[in-house]
Amino acid sequence: MEYRFSSRVSQLKSSAVRDILKLTQGKDMISFAGGLPAEEMFPVQAVREAADRVLLAGPSALQYGLTEGYIPLREHLCSRMAVKGMAVTPEEMILTTGSQQAIDLLVGVLTEPGDTILVEKPTYLASLQVFALHGLNVIAADSDENGIIPEVAEELIRKHKPRLLYAVPTFGNPTGRVWSLERRKRMLALCKQYEMLIIEDDPYGDIKFNAKDHFPTLFSLEGAAKDGSVIYTSTFSKTVAPALRTGWAIGDSRVIRMVAKAKQAADLHSSTMDQQILSQLLSHFDLDAHITSISKEYGDRMLEMHGLLQKAALPDLKWVMPKGGMFIWVELPEGLDAEALLRNAVQKGVAFVPGSSFYADNPMRNTARLNYSHNKGERTVQGIARLIEAIGEFTVRS
């Protein structure tokens, strides 16, 4: 039997992170590749108790649910968003199977194949997969330690007239960077001027290492969902657990209604069981205290990795110490190809994600993303030692 696959899927690149995760299975491998939370930080007992309460409420907990999502959970989330200065109603929110589905659905209802989308250089690699699947032309604006560069972005907007901006302004994936307040305001003003919608992806925003830091969302700077240019997405994957697969999108109710129609065609609704568990969790568990705890732990793990990289004192190895999130973005010595380095590193028992996967075009091949949230202590020490050894060998060869 000959199978004929669509050109969209046939041309789609596999996720570098997923491929590396498969490569590292069943081996004595220390992985800095995946954006994995620390399992030991999952609130297992609280989730178990929440699930018990859901099931004890009766068999209706296992029934079909609303496409837009479980209303009590949406109400909980509206309250949580309000604390961030984001006024939203349940009608302006939809629950999705992780924020990845939210991105996919939003792109599906807001673009046509052949449209152009603007991203930051570099950007989240799984979003690039979504854009490719929808047949979009992706253009990328340069960024620095303060985020996307507005002057570069405006030049691209004038030239290419993109329909959307996709952005991760707070603790970006892969760089860990935070857009400055000035950049946030400038980009918001630019998008309003050119009538471009913004998909603001914020999976990491709560994981900040200094509790006094305040990084307002683009959504909050705009002020309201109604007639707004910002559609905001986030997830419980980084703050509770990935397996519960619950994310959300908020925006003008007209956009949310269209997303709901598309979601009906995709999966009818996301897991109501997971949503009810999360609703019970928010009613009986101090999620903010938990987030404070994981933020401190991840901050300690980041400092551990940062210190080991500093101690190695390799020439021409550059990175910026992140203020939150899960990643350190490393610039390797000039001329060192991170994909070639990965093959050598895996032989030594350590993995990372080559930076080229995060570029829409013209990748910086001497870049790498390192995850610090999943390992600590001796495993981080050993992993960085193996990585430094691999880098040193390539530096000597060149």
First to last CA, the chain: 49
Do 258 and 158 fall into the same domain? yes
Residue with tokens 């290419």: 160
Cα distances (Å, whole numbers) of residue 225 to 64, 83, 166, 287: 28, 15, 17, 25
Structural domain includes residue 117: yes
pLDDT at 16 over 70: no
Closest CA to 371 of 316, 319, 301: 301
- The model's pLDDT over 130-155, given as tens digits with 9 standing for 90+, comes to 999 999 999 999 999 999 999 999 99
Structural domains of the chain, count: 2
Structural domain includes residue 13: yes
Query: For residue 394, what pLDDT is reported?
Result: 75
Query: For residue 364, what pLDDT is reported?
Result: 95
Query: For residue 10, what pLDDT is reported?
Result: 67
Structural domain includes residue 48: no
Structural domain includes residue 55: no
Q: Cβ(86)–Cβ(291) under 8 Å?
A: no
- The model's pLDDT over 215-225, given as tens digits with 9 standing for 90+, comes to 999 999 999 99
pTM of the model: 0.94
Do 37 and 73 fall into the same domain? no
Structural domain includes residue 120: yes
Structural domain includes residue 190: yes
Distance CA 361, CA 117 (A): 13
pLDDT at 395 over 70: no
Q: Cβ(254)–Cβ(55) under 8 Å?
A: no
Query: For residue 8, what pLDDT is reported?
Result: 74
Q: Cβ(96)–Cβ(263) under 8 Å?
A: yes
Query: For residue 7, what pLDDT is reported?
Result: 76
Give me the domain span that covers residue 225.
63-284
Do 306 and 267 fall into the same domain? no
Do 242 and 390 fall into the same domain? no
Do 293 and 277 fall into the same domain? no
Where is pLDDT greater, at 179 or 1?
A: 179
Rounded mean pLDDT, 243-256: 98
pLDDT at 27 over 70: no
Final residue before a domain boundary, out of 267, 284, 301:
284
Split at pLDDT 50, 70, 90, the class of 232 is very high
| Mean model confidence pLDDT for the chain | 94
- The model's pLDDT over 330-361, given as tens digits with 9 standing for 90+, comes to 999 988 999 999 999 999 999 999 999 999 99
Rounded mean pLDDT, 69-86: 98
Split at pLDDT 50, 70, 90, the class of 71 is very high
Split at pLDDT 50, 70, 90, the class of 19 is low
pLDDT at 398 over 80: no
Structural domain includes residue 49: no
Query: For residue 313, what pLDDT is reported?
Result: 83
Query: For residue 396, what pLDDT is reported?
Result: 57
Do 26 and 116 fall into the same domain? no
Distance CA 162, CA 244 (A): 34
Q: Cβ(115)–Cβ(137) under 8 Å?
A: yes
Do 154 and 190 fall into the same domain? yes
Sign of the CA dihedral running 305, 307, 308, 314: positive
CATH number at 174 reads 3.40.640.10
Query: For residue 18, what pLDDT is reported?
Result: 57
Closest CA to 235 of 223, 243, 247, 245: 247
Do 166 and 236 fall into the same domain? yes
- Between helix 150-160 and helix 181-193 the angle, nearest 10°, is 20
Query: For residue 14, what pLDDT is reported?
Result: 65
Distance CA 172, CA 326 (A): 9
Do 120 and 261 fall into the same domain? yes
CATH number at 369 reads 3.90.1150.10
Distance CA 236, CA 282 (A): 11
Residue with tokens 């997971």: 274
Do 34 and 14 fall into the same domain? yes
pLDDT at 108 over 70: yes
Do 125 and 231 fall into the same domain? yes
User: How is residue 355 annotated by DSSP?
Assistant: G
Percent of the chain residues topping a pLDDT of 70: 94
pLDDT at 375 over 80: yes
Final residue before a domain boundary, out of 284, 316, 342:
284
Rounded mean pLDDT, 270-290: 98
Final residue before a domain boundary, out of 284, 308, 341:
284
Do 143 and 190 fall into the same domain? yes
Rounded mean pLDDT, 276-293: 98
Structural domain includes residue 183: yes
Rounded mean pLDDT, 245-260: 98
